[in-house]
Structure 1
Amino acid sequence: MIIDLRSDTVTKPSKPMLEAMMQAKVGDDVFREDETVNVLERKIADMFGKDQALFFPSGTMANQTALKLHTNPGDQVICDKYAHIYNYESGGASFNSGVSCKLIDGNQGMFTAKQVEEAINPDAYYYSKTSLVEIENTTNKGGGACWDFNELLRIKDVCNKNQLGFHLDGARLWNALVVKNESTKQYGGAFDTISVCLSKGLGCPIGSVLVGDNEIMKDALRIRKIFGGNMRQAGYLAGAGLYALDNNINRLREDHKKAKEIEAELLKLSIIKKVEQVETNIVIFELNDDVDEKLFISRLANKNIYMISMGNKKLRIVTHLDYTNAKHEKLINNFSSF
């Protein structure tokens, strides 16, 4: 039995999802003739109350397209120091869009409207122009933490007053919606653009979607082409997305429950210095200074249990739909042996 908790992207399509994929009606999406892609894009646009949605092969490409839609070379983007667009997209913000990032020292990847106001550059020619605020919900490096929606609305007010765009990296937004009992329409009303992932948490083999209104999205298709992201018979992948939206959102509660139980077990271990508070499906914990991180990881790997190191003795566990009750029981039993 292999227990892979490195990410919620390691899942394999279920048999019903594979069947939905094989039944998809496809066409050439470069000509915008793939029926299933069109259905998926329309469905997600409607969910968020936006004019348009565009299907991407990855969340990184969706985010990078959003940055390019909102900015010009030389501009500056405000984001948290833990932001995915800054830490995990290979410097794409500077390479693709020629922008820099003003990093906010937030709390678990989240910051306040006041911090945004303080981060906006003065309106003088020798400063880079602040043009976009970007947030991530849930926060990956923040341990799957969920934003306070009222704070997001306050940030939106700051953006409106200062003519700034507002983009949401919603790679794990589905998790936040389930935990906070919030709606896609709420988020669609608060943000100019939103990227959502269909593989993280929802079990698809590939795919993310970017949504926005007509004005901001008018060049999205062209930018996706520039990035090499246009696909042909992509409906087989979109079919997985449609299945996931209909069947795999509410079950995220199971992943959250298991993550909370893992948190409780880790808190019992004397070798653990700290466990970040768990809200969704990510558990980040820190080993004591005298614990050998490599030895800890290899000891678990020898039992076919895998997790990821985040550096400085911090480790990450991510629960997902392929992490069964039997695997959960085995993990808990192994923790009790430390």
Structure 2
Amino acid sequence: MKIDLRSDTVTKPTKKMLDSMMYTQVGDDVYKEDPTVNALEERLAKMFGKPKALFFPSGTMANQTAIKLHTQPGDQVICDKDAHIYNYEGGGASFNSGVSCKLINGSRGMFTAEQVIEAINPPDFYHSPLTSLVEIENTTNRGGGACWDFEELKKIRTVCNTHNLGFHLDGARIWNALVAKNETAKDYGKVFDTISVCLSKGLGCPIGSVLIGDEAIMENAIRIRKILGGGMRQVGYLAAAGIYALDNNIERLAEDHKKAKEIETVLSKLFFVKKVEPVETNIVIFELQDQLNDSNFLKTLENNNIRISSMGQGKLRIVTHLDYTNDMHNHFLIFLKNMRL
């Protein structure tokens, strides 16, 4: 039995999802003539209460497009020090948009409206970059799948309004947050100018993200996507997977959350585990006791056909997902309980 808990991106399409992909209608999406892509974009725009949505091959490209739409070269983006756009998008913010990031020292990837106010550069002080965008990630990857307090997000929205700043949501795992917090997509649509949502993580699609936003800000999104090389042709085969996932794979995320919580419970009782971050969704981040070597621990797991991720700085990550079965889960819990280091 092979158990891969490195990420929820390792999932593969189910037979039913593949069937929906094989028998869909397609067209040339560069001409905006793919009916399945158009249907997916319209559905997600409506779901979040926004007028526009655009399909992208990756979440990174969707986020990078959003940054470019909100900023001019030389501007500055406020985000958390653990933000995906800063740590895991290849320096794209500086390369693609010519902007810098003002990093907030938040808690588990989250910060407050007061911290945003403190991070805004005075607009008339031309020695510092012009602050033009606030970006947040929900759930937070490096924060262990933590969910933002929606009331705090509304306060940050007020700050953005006051200072004429854009507000972008990296919603790579927004579906997990919606399920865990019993919130709605329209709630988020009212707060953010742009939202990127990922289909290839918890929802189990082979590829795809969608950028959703207000009419004015999204006007040039398709042009930026083209510049970044994201124009695709008969991409409806992939969009069909997204439609299937929206129909079938959102509510079941609660199962992934339950399994992650059970893993947290077991890890917290093991003598070789120093700390486990509180689990809210499908990510478990933990640290070993100081005298133990992370590489040796990962090797021991590998030798037993179990794979998890190292996030650096002593943090290890487990991510539950659609392909992590009940049998795998029971086997993994028993293995952890009997593990000797």
1:254 aligns with 255
Q: Deviations over 1:260-289 (max 9, x none)?
A: 000000001111110000000000000111
2:106 counterpart of 1:106: yes
* Separation of aligned partners in 1, 2:168 and 2:296: 40
Q: Secondary structure at the match of 1:25?
A: coil
2:282 counterpart of 1:281: yes
Letter in 2 for 1:267: S
* Separation of aligned partners in 1, 2:285 and 2:127: 41
Q: Secondary structure at the match of 2:134?
A: strand
Q: Deviations over 1:144-178 (max 9, x none)?
A: 00000000000000000000000000000000000
* Separation of aligned partners in 1, 2:149 and 2:231: 35
Q: Shift of the alpha carbon at 1:312?
A: 2.4
2:306 counterpart of 1:305: yes
1:201 aligns with 202
Q: Deviations over 1:184-239 (max 9, x none)?
A: 00000000000000011000000000001110000000000000001000000000
Letter in 2 for 1:247: N
Q: Shift of the alpha carbon at 1:313?
A: 2.1
2:269 counterpart of 1:243: no
* Separation of aligned partners in 2, 1:295 and 1:164: 46
Report runs of 4+ in structure 1 exceeding 2 Å deviation: none
Q: How many residues align?
A: 338
1:211 aligns with 212
1:119-134, aligned counterparts within 5 Å? 119-123=119-123, 124-134=125-135
Letter in 1 for 2:110: M
Letter in 2 for 1:44: L
Q: Shift of the alpha carbon at 1:311?
A: 1.2
* Separation of aligned partners in 1, 2:24 and 2:238: 9
* Separation of aligned partners in 2, 1:126 and 1:96: 22
2:322 aligns with 321
* Separation of aligned partners in 1, 2:43 and 2:111: 31
RMSD between aligned alpha carbons?
0.5
2:19 counterpart of 1:31: no
Q: Shift of the alpha carbon at 1:86?
A: 0.1
Q: Shift of the alpha carbon at 1:252?
A: 0.1
Letter in 1 for 2:337: S
* Separation of aligned partners in 2, 1:9 and 1:48: 23
1:139-158, aligned counterparts within 5 Å? 139-158=140-159
* Separation of aligned partners in 1, 2:313 and 2:292: 11
2:138 counterpart of 1:137: yes
2:5 aligns with 5
* Separation of aligned partners in 1, 2:51 and 2:165: 20
1:59 aligns with 59
Identity %: 71
* Separation of aligned partners in 2, 1:119 and 1:24: 48
* Separation of aligned partners in 1, 2:291 and 2:110: 30
Q: Shift of the alpha carbon at 1:125?
A: 1.3
2:230 aligns with 229
Letter in 2 for 1:4: D
1:165 aligns with 166
1:64-83, aligned counterparts within 5 Å? 64-83=64-83
Letter in 2 for 1:266: L
Q: Deviations over 1:6-25 (max 9, x none)?
A: 00000000000000001110
1:187 aligns with 188
Letter in 2 for 1:268: K
2:118 aligns with 118
Q: Shift of the alpha carbon at 1:329?
A: 0.7
What TM-score results when the alignment is normalised by the length of structure 2?
Answer: 0.99
Q: Secondary structure at the match of 2:9?
A: coil
- Structure 2 residue ranges without an equivalent (≥5): none
Q: Shift of the alpha carbon at 1:314?
A: 1.1
